[in-house]
Amino acid sequence: MKTAVVIGASMGGLLAARALHEHFERVVIVERDRLPESPSSRRCVPQGRQLHVLLARGREILEELFPGLTAQLAGEGAPIVDLHGEVHWYNDGFLMRRAPSDLFAVGVSRPLLEHTVRGRVAALPGVSLVTERDVTALVTDGARTTVTGVVVTPLDGADGADPAYRMAADLVVDAGGRASRSPHWLRELGYAAAPEDVVRVDLTYVTRLYEHTPEHLDGMSGVLANAVPGNPRAAIAAAVEGGRVAVALNGMLGLQPPTDDAGMAEFADALPAPHFARIIRSARPVGPPFLMRYPGSVRRRYERLRRFPAGFLVFGDALCSFNPIYGQGMTVAALEARLLASNPRMPARRFFRAAARIVDGPWSIAVGTDLRFPEVSGPRSARVRFVNWFVHRLHAAATRDEVLGAAFVRVLNLVRPPTSLLAPDIVRRVLAARPLRTATVRAESASAGRPAGGR
């Protein structure tokens, strides 16, 4: 095949282009934004200023697609983090027992990660980026059964602006993100809209960078505290490149974290981990705080459509946009890129069915956890209720049993499926553990120090 067009040069689009370049003579990425020459935030990726998490599974796949990427990021100052041995995990208020593991992440900002990956993709043979241009329509054959290209329109003020023109393509991939216009384009072509699963969480999150010193995180590289019913606030702090630590405060169900120093510290005081307030009160800020809202998770069920045009696929966040608290988006896009690379000629229905199987696990984790909150609308099956009860028990038991902590971290990082938490040995360990209350756990963990075998 000759030409593939990818809509969007964010992480999803870059990964799609990497997946396609070995199968097409030419891969063209069309991007609305003016792309920066150095790692910096950009207008069309407003979430780029927020703390991002590349899960361990995502890092592994990116390393497969771009050999040496981890070392390259480390060379830019991004710390390599053992996710079980070098992170404080406060799950439901219980402090997980740490232990060394083979689950590694990179403490990297979104601008540096995207800039580095974009450089790798742009250097691939046959790949080109067309910037400050917008795809405004799909082009089809006379029967409207096959997409044969796109209409590309220059944005106002674009360098060398020319009239709108048609770009022929053997395959078009929409990686335009949550604001994908595929539903509108497909309706224009006479196709039914894909059913949507929507789970509203009314999330607001605020991220700010600070100068990092080891005492902020007790010598570790990160800390996480999740939201729980009755206290719909969460936070993550992670060391990133440049000797900085990013602090993200999250409020669900309409709770909005403040953006002033005193308000942020007071918000953090209500979290079980003391590290967030400590950083906010004592560390030197590097730039202002940035606030962003996320109404809810959206999954477009293209696999359920009976009719879909050939030569066209929907990819990444345009297919499913997850609650960002769980950090799943980039890793799911990486998994979809592996699928696309395996056979870009597969029919759309086959691709969407396979992609749905990729999405199922992360979706069940994110939505199942969000449904713990009575204010979140959605069906609560007996299985969902049982799993949430069981995982809460697991968090309590993991304060003393690092095997349980390792099992949970592997599932959260998409290394193992959620069903692995119901393996007989895991169930036995959870049910045999003495119940603990979070106040007791905090008192015990404060005096316990590092666990045996920990770092």
Distances (CA, A) of 29 to 329, 366, 437, 447: 20, 30, 52, 54
Query: In terms of domains, do 117 and 97 share one?
Result: no
Q: Is residue 258 part of a domain?
A: yes
In a domain, 182, yes or no: yes
In the chain, how long is the greatest CA-to-CA distance? 73
Are 207 and 327 a contacting pair, CB within 8 Å?
Answer: no
Tokens (6 digits) for 38: 């150095």
Whether residue 125 sits in one domain with residue 29: yes
* Full residue range of the structural domain in which residue 233 is found: 64-110+200-295
Based on the domain organization, do 223 and 290 belong to the same domain? yes
Same domain, 116 and 178: yes
d(CA 144, CA 140): 5
Q: Are residues 286 and 313 located together in one domain of the fold? A: no
Look up the CATH number of the domain holding residue 36. 3.50.50.60
In one letter, which amino acid is 439? A
Together in a domain, 148 and 264: no
In a domain, residue 220? The reply is: yes
253 plus 159 within the same structural domain = no
Choose the final residue of a domain: 272, 295, 318. Answer: 295
- Would you say residue 437 lies in a domain? no
37 and 120 together in one domain: yes
Position 423 in a domain: no
Shared domain check, 317 and 252? no
Cα–Cα distance between 310 and 186 in angstroms, integer? 12
CATH of the domain at 291: 3.30.9.10
| Rg over CA atoms, the chain | 22
Q: Report the distance separating Cα 235 and Cα 249, nearest Å.
A: 5
Residue after which a domain boundary falls, among 273, 295, 317: 295
Give domain status of residue 328, yes or no: yes
Q: Are residues 265 and 188 in the same domain?
A: no
Instruction: Going residue by residue through the chain, which has 455 residues, state the pLDDT in tens, using 9 for 90 and above.
Output: 699 999 999 999 999 999 999 999 999 999 999 998 888 887 767 677 889 889 999 999 999 999 999 999 999 999 999 999 999 999 999 999 999 999 999 999 999 999 999 999 999 999 999 999 999 999 999 999 999 999 999 987 666 657 899 999 999 999 999 999 999 999 999 999 899 999 999 999 999 999 999 999 999 999 999 999 999 999 999 999 999 999 999 999 999 999 999 999 999 999 999 999 999 999 999 999 999 999 999 999 999 999 999 999 999 999 999 999 999 999 999 999 999 999 998 999 999 999 999 999 999 999 999 999 999 999 999 999 999 999 999 999 999 999 999 999 999 999 999 999 999 999 999 999 987 765 434 433 333 333 333 33
* Per-residue 3-state assignment (H helix, E strand, C coil) for the chain: CCEEEEECCCHHHHHHHHHHCCCCCEEEEEECCCCCCCCCCCCCCHHHHCCCCCCHHHHHHHHHHCCCHHHHHHHCCCCEEECCCCEEEEECCEECCCCCCCCEEECCCHHHHHHHHHHHHHCCCCEEEEECEEEEEEEECCCCCEEEEEEEEECCCCCCCCCCEEEECCEEEECCHHHCCHHHHHHHCCCCCCCEEEEEEEEEEEEEEEECCHHHHCCCCEEEECCECCECEEEEEEEECCCEEEEEEEECCCCCCCCCHHHHHHHHHCCCCCHHHHHHHHCCECCCCEEEEEEEEEEECHHHCCCCCECEEECHHHCEECCHHHCCHHHHHHHHHHHHHHCCCCCHHHHHHHHHHHHHHHHHHHHHHHCCCCCCCCCCCHHHHHHHHHHHHHHHHCCCCHHHHHHHHHHHCCCCCHHHHHCHHHHHHHHHCCCCCHHHHHHHHHHHCCCCCCC
Identify whether 139 is part of a domain.
yes
Residue 397 CB coordination number (10 Å)? 24
Among 314, 337, 358, give the residue marking a domain's end: 358
Please check whether residues 212 and 352 belong to one and the same domain: no
Same domain as 20, residue 74: no
> How many structural domains compose the chain?
2
Rounded percentage of the chain residues whose pLDDT exceeds 90: 87
Contacts of 230 (CB under 8 A, 6+ apart): none
Is 448 a member of any domain? no
